[in-house]
Amino acid sequence: MTHAPRPRIAILARFAESTSATRYAAIVTARRLAELVWAAGGEPLTMLPVAGADWSDRLRGIDGVLMPGGADINPRTYGQEIASDHVYDVDDLADEADIALVKHALASGLPYLAICRGLQITNVALGGTLVQHMEQPHQHHVAPVTFESHVDELGLSTATVQASCYHHQMIDEVAPGIEVIARSAEGHVEAAKIPAKGWAFGVQWHPEDNYDTNAPQLELVTRFVAEAKARA
């Protein structure tokens, strides 16, 4: 008996100054994130950020795009200068590659899921801004978040999830077309429906942190992978 191939999910790599396995600077994908995509039925594929990429060519055979978490975005991408000592690991190449991929994925109709920095860079790519440093960062922060809408479209069995967050920046001005669908207790944007030709959503937290103990995290990514499979 033959099995249908897993849908191929592109994850744009993040830069690391060094890793014990490589001895040199590296490109990385969080192992937990790749394992979550696999558990949801997808084939996670890490892609190198490069300048001037032809994403229509590079994404041939790719069924969905997952924009992952990572370091801070250069405030210049949203018309500001760095105004906080807490802004860290800014990399203009990473920002350029992210923004180009965001725009291509949304315009092409590829199923798209953005996580943490991924949601922030999506907001920036579409014309929004960020808070450079929160007064009370959500680092090692786990709290319930309740979706206001789109629960069925996200494949969730419940509207409330235990959101595991690790971020000190957040969306400030919401980009045109983005629909906020969940907020934290403080009122911060926690999830959004993203304007696109295809299925496209983003969350401010990290589903990979607790997908094996909080079922909705796996359900969310399983729906994303299912959308990718349906398009394949």
Active site residues: 116, 206, 208
Tokens of 40: 């949801």
DSSP state of 167: E
Please provide residue 145's backbone torsions phi and psi, each rounded to the nearest 5 degrees.
-130, 130
DSSP state of 184: -
Which residue type is seen at 117?
Answer: R
Closest CA to 78 of 61, 90, 63: 90
Q: Which residue has the tokens 């394949």?
A: 232
193 near 178, Cβ under 8 Å?
yes
Q: Where are the alpha helices (DSSP H) in the chain?
A: 31-39, 55-58, 92-108, 117-125, 215-231
Q: Sign of dihedral through CA atoms 93, 72, 178, 34?
A: positive
